[in-house]
A and B are shown apart, each in its own frame.
Chain A
């Protein structure tokens, strides 16, 4: 009997362990997309990931490649050091909005400005997840969190930051995209963005980042399906999707 064709399985770049993420949390989805891309590009044995501080702090337990834990907000600076020391490696940082868009804004801006040849996956769920649902710089106006129980008031707390648009103004940033994983079609497209961001690095072209809009059902106080709908209804209108800064040059193979 001929061997059965394998249609679906766990990517090699993802370890076979349960994650600590809450039910309905998209971190696992994004982990998987990254792992599939790493497998497809056959780069697992030269990939180094940087884990952040935040809900994804334990990401080093889930990715089946070498990982380094960075101090809060410093992931893209740590990634810079690794990439400079090991230029043939593929270096990605995985950072949330508390990490990248808040305490680590200096690091991300300057990594992009220097055009560091790294790939950044930025998870935007409009809240500080791990510390229990406080207002983030990405929290939408009117959105309730534990530190703005009446909803974010722009007179007190300003407006949510569109990090991707901000970084897109920097010449060192080669590819910036914003994706969402709230349904299958968006999820598949998100994977293409992530793959492009790794290909940019493989081609030595410079800084690439994919912002992924994610739900946080636990801290938003919604069920998982409601939270996915909330992303579509509230986040996407404020954070427009897809190529914020498309590739200018030819030569990058895209799916």
Chain B
């Protein structure tokens, strides 16, 4: 029987890693991810896993060792946050282009500087074009479920792409929640035995990983990578369907919440979706036509699902927990707005940058935001498109 437990997000992810029982974990501590690897190291010590555990000297080496292990045919995992992810930069691109199905937990934390340890999405958003699949979690339950599904997605024979499962630093990683966890053998059956396609030292089929690839074939390889990402959405949905049969919990690329008849809506990623759902519930009791679209999978970008979900709305506020400084609005805003422009009558879109460096966003903030959106429906005047929520400017 599945078990109900009380756990922090970090514990839930470490538990998922124990149940996955990867061949190799190479990691370096960084707040707020540290606990995942620390808990996992006790599983290693207690011989609850068969994992080769490497305490490397940096994240650059953590990802490089994961790349080596994965190329060697191992199921390799790691975890990081913020500057740790940034320090992996050159190698995360290599992991994706070598089509190595590494699964990595990213506990979202603001990227320095100034140095900060609290949540925003500036770390994983910066890696959005690295070729990794990115799955954002709303709570500890989703972080756990996404880690397990991540293995199946990454290792799918048509994909062979690395997967980043994110959860909001401290808000999810360090907060206790109720969640349902699966039995060890169910997880083992679900992920199956890993059969690497082109491992090193398969003597009958010798391979070289990452050789020089110039103007003769580099472009074709990049095109293949893009194609794998294009079909990844379908595979992620298939894996989610299988996982629903096992767990009873349903996942899509996006999660619409009261959008059918909504006039105004928010688009959010991560833990803020939970806060916003509570606001929607409250406003719906007052008869307000408000809704929410949570993006679970940001990479590949669920273009069609977002268009479908947001059609018919009047005003949509797109929430970014990271700024891009130089572009027009945050990264989520840019892509969502670009997608829905193909609608005949696209809704008015507003960019809200919020919650940088762990700045709290609470029910009152979001209720106020919904109120502002309704005002815009009433007046028909969108006003300033690029907005900041909860920052002191005077």
- Using a CB–CB distance below 8 Å, which chain A residues touch chain B? 53, 57, 69, 71-73, 98, 102-103, 105, 128, 130-132, 134-135, 137, 146-150, 156-157
A144 to chain B, nearest CB (A): 10
Q: Is the CB of A132 within 8 A of B34?
A: yes
Q: Is the CB of B55 within 8 A of A157?
A: yes
Contact with A along B37-63 (1 / 0, CB 8 A): 110011001000000010101110000
Q: Is the CB of B55 within 8 A of A147?
A: yes
Contact with A along B74-107 (1 / 0, CB 8 A): 0000000001000100000000000000000000
Which of B23-31, B271-279, B341-349 lines the interface with chain A? B23-31
Query: CA separation between A146 and B40, bound complex, in Å?
Result: 10
- Which A residues are CB-close (under 8 A) to B28? 102-103
B60 to chain A, nearest CB (A): 8
Q: Is the CB of B112 within 8 A of A148?
A: no
Q: Is the CB of A131 within 8 A of B34?
A: yes
Query: CA separation between A132 and B29, bound complex, in Å?
Result: 9
B40 to A, closest residue via Cβ: A147
A69 to B, closest residue via Cβ: B115
Query: CA separation between A103 and B38, bound complex, in Å?
Result: 18
- Which B residues are CB-close (under 8 A) to A156? 53
Query: CA separation between A103 and B31, bound complex, in Å?
Result: 15
Q: Is the CB of A103 within 8 A of B42?
A: no
Q: Is the CB of A131 within 8 A of B29?
A: yes
Query: CA separation between A57 and B57, bound complex, in Å?
Result: 19
Q: Is the CB of A146 within 8 A of B38?
A: yes
Indicate whether B248 reaches chain A with its CB closer than 8 angstroms.
no
Q: Is the CB of A53 within 8 A of B45?
A: no
Size of the B side of the interface (Cβ < 8 Å), in residues, is: 22
Query: CA separation between A242 and B350, bound complex, in Å?
Result: 63
- Which B residues are CB-close (under 8 A) to A53? 83, 115
Contact with A along B1-39 (1 / 0, CB 8 A): 000000000000000000000000000111100110110
Q: Is the CB of A134 within 8 A of B55?
A: yes
Indicate whether B113 reaches chain A with its CB closer than 8 angstroms.
yes
User: Interface centre among A57, A73, A131, A149, by most B CB within 10 Å?
Assistant: A131
- Which B residues are CB-close (under 8 A) to A132? 29, 34-35, 38
Q: Is the CB of A146 within 8 A of B53?
A: no
Query: CA separation between A58 and B317, bound complex, in Å?
Result: 38
User: Interface centre among A57, A103, A130, A137, by most B CB within 10 Å?
Assistant: A103
- Which B residues are CB-close (under 8 A) to A135? 55
Q: Is the CB of A72 within 8 A of B83?
A: yes
Q: Is the CB of A102 within 8 A of B57?
A: yes
Show 8 residue pairs from A and B whose CB-CB distance is below 8 angstroms, ordered by the A residue. A53-B83, A71-B113, A102-B58, A105-B57, A131-B30, A146-B41, A149-B45, A150-B45
Given A71-B83, A128-B29: 6 more A-B contacts, CB < 8 Å:
A69-B114, A102-B58, A132-B29, A146-B41, A147-B29, A148-B41
A106 to chain B, nearest CB (A): 9
Contact with A along B338-376 (1 / 0, CB 8 A): 000000000000000000000000000000000000000
- Which A residues are CB-close (under 8 A) to B55? 134-135, 147-148, 157
Query: CA separation between A205 and B163, bound complex, in Å?
Result: 50
A152 to B, closest residue via Cβ: B55
- Which B residues are CB-close (under 8 A) to A137? 57
A57 to B, closest residue via Cβ: B115
Query: CA separation between A149 and B29, bound complex, in Å?
Result: 16
Query: CA separation between A130 and B32, bound complex, in Å?
Result: 11
Q: Is the CB of A131 within 8 A of B57?
A: no
- Which A residues are CB-close (under 8 A) to B37? 134, 147
- Which B residues are CB-close (under 8 A) to A102? 28, 57-58
- Which B residues are CB-close (under 8 A) to A146? 38, 41-42
B170 to chain A, nearest CB (A): 14
B53, B57, B115: the one within 8 Å of A103 (CB): B57
- Which B residues are CB-close (under 8 A) to A128? 29
Query: CA separation between A98 and B57, bound complex, in Å?
Result: 8
B61 to chain A, nearest CB (A): 9
Query: CA separation between A139 and B338, bound complex, in Å?
Result: 52
Query: CA separation between A157 and B57, bound complex, in Å?
Result: 11
Interface pairs A-B: 6 shortest CB-CB: A103-B58, A131-B29, A147-B41, A102-B57, A131-B34, A149-B45
A98, A105, A147: the one within 8 Å of B38 (CB): A147
Query: CA separation between A137 and B112, bound complex, in Å?
Result: 25
Q: Is the CB of B42 within 8 A of A149?
A: yes
Query: CA separation between A4 and B217, bound complex, in Å?
Result: 82
A105 to B, closest residue via Cβ: B57
Query: CA separation between A73 and B61, bound complex, in Å?
Result: 14
A30 to chain B, nearest CB (A): 21
B46 to A, closest residue via Cβ: A149
B29, B83, B114: the one within 8 Å of A134 (CB): B29
- Which B residues are CB-close (under 8 A) to A73? 58
A66 to chain B, nearest CB (A): 16
A58 to B, closest residue via Cβ: B115
Query: CA separation between A102 and B57, bound complex, in Å?
Result: 5
B29 to A, closest residue via Cβ: A131
- Which B residues are CB-close (under 8 A) to A98? 29
Query: CA separation between A72 and B31, bound complex, in Å?
Result: 12
Query: CA separation between A135 and B53, bound complex, in Å?
Result: 13
Query: CA separation between A176 and B53, bound complex, in Å?
Result: 34
B58 to A, closest residue via Cβ: A103
User: Interface centre among B30, B59, B115, by most A CB within 10 Å?
Assistant: B115
Query: CA separation between A137 and B56, bound complex, in Å?
Result: 9
A166 to chain B, nearest CB (A): 14
Query: CA separation between A147 and B57, bound complex, in Å?
Result: 13
B11 to chain A, nearest CB (A): 14
B90 to chain A, nearest CB (A): 14
- Which B residues are CB-close (under 8 A) to A157? 55
Within 8 A of A (CB), among B264-292: none
A53 to chain B, nearest CB (A): 7
- Which A residues are CB-close (under 8 A) to B113? 69, 71
